[in-house]
Amino acid sequence: MTADRFIHSIGGYLPSLRLARKSAVSALKWSGLGGVREGYRAVAGWDEDPMTMAVEAARTMTRELEAESLIFASTSAYFTERAQSGLMVDALGLKRDTRSLDVAGSRRCATTALLQALDGTKPAIVAAADARATKPGSAHQLLFGDGAAAIGVGDNGGARYLGSHSTTHDFIDFYATRDHPTPYGYEERFIRETAVDAILLPTIQAACEAAGVAAAEIAYAAVAEPLTGIYPALARKLGLKASNLASDLFAQAGDLGAAHASFALGLAFAKAAPGDIVLLAGFGSGCDALLFEVTGTVLGAAQMAVALAQGSALTDYVRFLNLSGGLDLAWGMRAEFEQKAQATVIERHGRDIIGFVGGRDSTGNVQFPKSRIPVNPALSVPETLEDVRLAEEIGQVVSVTADRLNYTPDPPFYFGLVQFDNGARVMVEFTDCPASGLAVGDRVRMRLRIKSLDRRRGFRTYFWKAAPFERPTLEKQ
């Protein structure tokens, strides 16, 4: 008998902006297009992608869990050759001898990766994220949301893994291809009936059997639904009494793709008490169903429930289209600025840049970036600086402006000087700024974001930006 495996910790991330779906439906009213009008859809900022969101979801757990492997799961990852998990290892400050893997193929990839981690013997992180492109006016545009969830697995934690079952079924509720990158969906009635009866129901039943759990004993569910509203029918047929946290997540943020079930699992853990049984089901080209028994507190779960309730309502459909790639606006010649990065430079400095690693000099002063001769006026000869990670530091605004001349895909461009308590300071871009802007003295936290986009060569670079320390509470819709 192998040792019990546990969910050690869990983390989630949603972008600050939430499109009020009714705004989109109202903008599209003339066309009869749109779809679901209640609730919100989380919208990645122009500088966010699945990798940056996955880092945000995973960053809290790396302090507590010495992961030996990292899996990144997404169906919308930017790089097809250059592992997102490789970037994450550097961004999270993990050791270079961490085993890393990107998985994709269907939105179920995250739960399958989680099973792989649970079946293993070493501490591991599975980080899932999606920011899927959709066509303006399509139902998917308002069904989908952008976000991430990460799960830390180990030999201890707050939820014991009881068992699982997986099925493979080449079922096409929608597909996306290199030739058709946005979803192409099929009839809802076909999806509703086939997904429940042929895939979800038998898989979950088999998982319950494997775990020795009756469906009625399950306290909370995190079941990814291929269509909103199918869970009640599934629950009835299974004899499940548990509410589905994935439905709550859909209402407030949309279907997060690969991250959806994992994020919902965090919401379930936030509600659960020791002894509760929790069901996790990932869907896509089949199904993975997993059962857990809550044994204590799962680190990070409570913060996920808080994160779901925070954000800024976005009611401008055109701004949403601009952010989500549905519109290609003419930004003028300033947007033609070349931002070509070089692999040799990234080889020399990339790990320190994406990991936000500065240096401590022999007097104790911390600076960013590191330099041969420290910036400290008390020192004047070269010395070796000790690595200091700044990503988790809280900063204070020294100077800031909302620059309306500089090109940015989502104006205005906020930038300025941020001071950290440990002595380091850095000129940075600000992100997630409220319309009222930022002021000298405001507290900020650092977020990994896209620094530059090289559209001509299909490349992007990443660096940390300062965001307001607190997010506003989202009005419930």
Partner 1 sequence: MMATGIRDRVAIIGMGCTPFGEHWNKGPEDLMVEAFEEAVADAGIERLAIDAAWVGNALDDINVGNSALPLAHALRLRCIPVTRVENMCATGTEALRAATYAVAAGAVDIALALGVEKLKDTGYGGLPLKTKGLTNDLWMPYGSAPGTFAQLAGAYSARHALKAEDLKRAMAHVSWKSHQNGALNPKAHLRKPIAMDAILNAPLIADPLGLFDCCGVSDGAACAIVTTPDIARGLGKSDIVTVKAIQLSASNGWETQFSAWDGSYVRNTREAARRAYDEAGISDPRAELSLTEVHDCFSITELVTMEDLGLAADGRAPFDILDGAFDRDGTLPCQIDGGLKCFGHPVGASGLRMAYEIYSQLLDRGGERQRQDVRLGLTHNLGGAPFNSVAAVSILGRLN
Q: Where on the chain is the footprint of partner 1 (CB under 8 A)?
A: 332-334, 337-339, 341-342, 345-346, 348-350, 353, 365, 367-369, 371, 375-377, 398-407, 412-413, 415-417, 419, 423-429, 437, 439-441, 451-452, 461, 463
* In the complex, least distance from residue 404 CB atom to partner 1, rounded to whole angstroms: 6
Q: Which is nearer to partner 1, 250 or 368 (CB)?
A: 368
Reported as type and span, the H/E element at residue 23 is helix 21-27
Please name the residue ranges forming H helices in 144-258. 188-194, 201-211, 231-238, 245-253
* In the complex, least distance from residue 461 CB atom to partner 1, rounded to whole angstroms: 6
* In the complex, least distance from residue 337 CB atom to partner 1, rounded to whole angstroms: 5
Q: Which is nearer to partner 1, 140 or 370 (CB)?
A: 370
Tokens of 8: 């050690």
Q: Which is nearer to partner 1, 96 or 372 (CB)?
A: 372
* In the complex, least distance from residue 316 CB atom to partner 1, rounded to whole angstroms: 19
Question: Other CB atoms closer than 10 Å to residue 344's CB: what's the count?
Answer: 8
* In the complex, least distance from residue 412 CB atom to partner 1, rounded to whole angstroms: 8
Please name the residue ranges forming H helices in 195-297. 201-211, 231-238, 245-253, 260-271
Q: Which is nearer to partner 1, 35 or 412 (CB)?
A: 412
* In the complex, least distance from residue 1 CB atom to partner 1, rounded to whole angstroms: 50
* In the complex, least distance from residue 382 CB atom to partner 1, rounded to whole angstroms: 14
Q: How far apart are CA 262 and CA 246, in angstroms?
A: 9
- Any idea how long the chain is? 477
* In the complex, least distance from residue 62 CB atom to partner 1, rounded to whole angstroms: 21
Three-state secondary structure call for residue 283: strand
Q: How far apart are CA 228 and CA 450, in angstroms?
A: 32
Q: How far apart are CA 194 and CA 67, in angstroms?
A: 38
Q: Which is nearer to partner 1, 110 or 438 (CB)?
A: 438
Interstrand relation of 124-130 and 147-154 (parallel, antiparallel or unpaired): antiparallel
Q: Which residues contact 368 (CB under 8 A, 6 or more apart)?
A: 356, 358, 359, 390, 424, 425, 426
Q: How far apart are CA 215 and CA 194, in angstroms?
A: 21
For the CA atoms of 49, 53, 58, 63, the dihedral, rounded to the nearest 10 degrees, stands at 100
Reported as type and span, the H/E element at residue 418 is strand 413-420
Greatest alpha-carbon pair distance for the chain in Å reads 75
User: Which long-range contacts link 37-41 to residues 24+ away (Cβ below 8 Å)?
Assistant: 37/142, 38/251, 38/477, 39/250, 39/251, 39/252, 39/477, 40/145, 40/251, 40/252, 40/253, 40/254, 40/311, 40/313, 40/474, 40/477, 41/141, 41/142, 41/143, 41/144, 41/145, 41/253, 41/254
Q: Which is nearer to partner 1, 6 or 356 (CB)?
A: 356
Q: How far apart are CA 247 and CA 227, in angstroms?
A: 10
* In the complex, least distance from residue 92 CB atom to partner 1, rounded to whole angstroms: 18
Q: Which amino acid is at 427?
A: M
Q: Which is nearer to partner 1, 146 or 442 (CB)?
A: 442
Q: Which is nearer to partner 1, 45 or 158 (CB)?
A: 45
* In the complex, least distance from residue 467 CB atom to partner 1, rounded to whole angstroms: 14
Q: Which is nearer to partner 1, 214 or 398 (CB)?
A: 398
Q: Which is nearer to partner 1, 325 or 412 (CB)?
A: 412
Q: Which is nearer to partner 1, 26 or 396 (CB)?
A: 396
* In the complex, least distance from residue 279 CB atom to partner 1, rounded to whole angstroms: 44
